Amino acid sequence: MTYTSPVPITDGHLYTGSSLELRGLTMAYGDIEVLRDVSLTVEPGTTTCIIGPSGSGKSTLLRGVNRLHEPSGGDVLLAGESVLRQKPDVVRRRIGLVFQHFNLFPDHTALENVALALRNVKRMSRAEANRIAHERLAEVGLAERADHRPRDLSGGQQQRVAIARALAMEPEVMLFDEATSALDPELVKGVLSLMAQLAQRGMTMLVVTHEMGFARRVADQVVFMDEGRVVEHGHPDDLFDRPQSPRLRRFLSEVL
């Protein structure tokens, strides 16, 4: 996987994303099946947003893709290869995940939070890790905040550090699980615009979000889930303007 150095935002694609395909993915907690036969394809360099009510299985789906919870059936293909046949830590290096809660190390600076992952996972020297960490922080607009600890950063800045940390691994796909849900309203926009930039730069992204404006503007494809199934999927204009199923119509009337 090549990773082009960040440059000021342009229309050019800077990432070389891979395709991600879910085939009949089924997942359970104990005996309770919460994801049933979910199939979807995210083409390389495109963004798919998953929307749906709480409890519909969106987080579980991302956990299955990233091998945080083992699927009970079906398959997940990254660039055409099954991730279920790869070691979980290899999969997590290839597929970045950003959560609602940023999980930064509180006693380390922004720079160290990014560099530590590079040293531990990629076995880089301190100098090399710091150099790349600086680049990634600059990419998310935090070059000036490299020496700040999480408590001295806003929630939005902390989330951008978490995104920089994920990007530092040179992922082929990025997953986001309600990345802005824990943020104060005035901080949401900065994180969403960073995510939109990543999409524009050609990152392959699978984004669980309640931000319908973001889904409409940025997604190439929107997937509506309910009760562990994909109910409807398609182009955002079709889903939002011409919902076919009563369940999606009801959901949209509640959130829009």
Contact residues toward ligand ADP (CB under 6 A) are 29, 34, 52, 54-60
Q: Which is nearer to Mg ion, 59 or 158 (CB)?
A: 59
CA nearest to 40, candidates 238, 223, 247, 237: 223
Exposed (0-12), middle (13-18) or buried (19+): which is 128, by Cβ within 10 Å?
middle
Give me the least distance between CB of 195 and ligand ADP, in Å please. Answer: 18
| From ligand ADP, Mg ion, none, interface partner of 54 (C-beta below 5 to 8 A by class) | ligand ADP
Q: CB of 47: closest distance to ligand ADP in angstroms?
A: 18
Min dist CB 76 to Mg ion, Å, is 18
Taking the CA atoms of 81, 60, 256 and 246 in sequence, report the sign of the dihedral they define: positive
Under a CB-based contact definition with an 8 Å cutoff, are residues 100 and 177 in contact? yes
Q: How far is the CB of 200 from ligand ADP (least distance, A)?
A: 26
The pair of three-digit structure tokens given for residue 189, joined into one six-digit string: 């926009």
Tell me: does residue 180 bind Mg ion (CB under 5 A): no
159 touches Mg ion by CB under 5 A = no
Indicate which single residue of 47, 59, 66, 113 sits in contact with Mg ion (rule: CB under 5 A): 59
Tokens 């940025």 — which residue? 218
Answer left, alpha or beta for residue 80, where phi above 0 means left and psi between -120 and 50 means alpha: left
Selection from ligand ADP, Mg ion, none that 55 binds (CB < 5 to 8 A by kind) is ligand ADP
Give dist(CA 24, CA 236) in Å, integer.
23
Question: How far is Cα of residue 251 from the mean position of the Cα atoms in its chain?
Answer: 23
Shortest distance in whole angstroms from residue 192 CB to Mg ion: 18
Tell me how far, at minimum, the Cβ of 16 lies from ligand ADP, in Å. Answer: 29
* Residue 34 interaction partner, one of Mg ion, ligand ADP, none, beta carbon < 5-8 Å per kind: ligand ADP
Nearer to Mg ion, 176 or 240 (CB): 176
Token output for 245: 């199923």
Task: Report how far residue 163's alpha carbon sits from residue 184's, in angstroms, rounded to the nearest whole number.
Answer: 18
56 binds, among Mg ion, ligand ADP, none (CB under 5 to 8 A by kind): ligand ADP
Residues found near Mg ion in the complex (CB under 5 A): 59
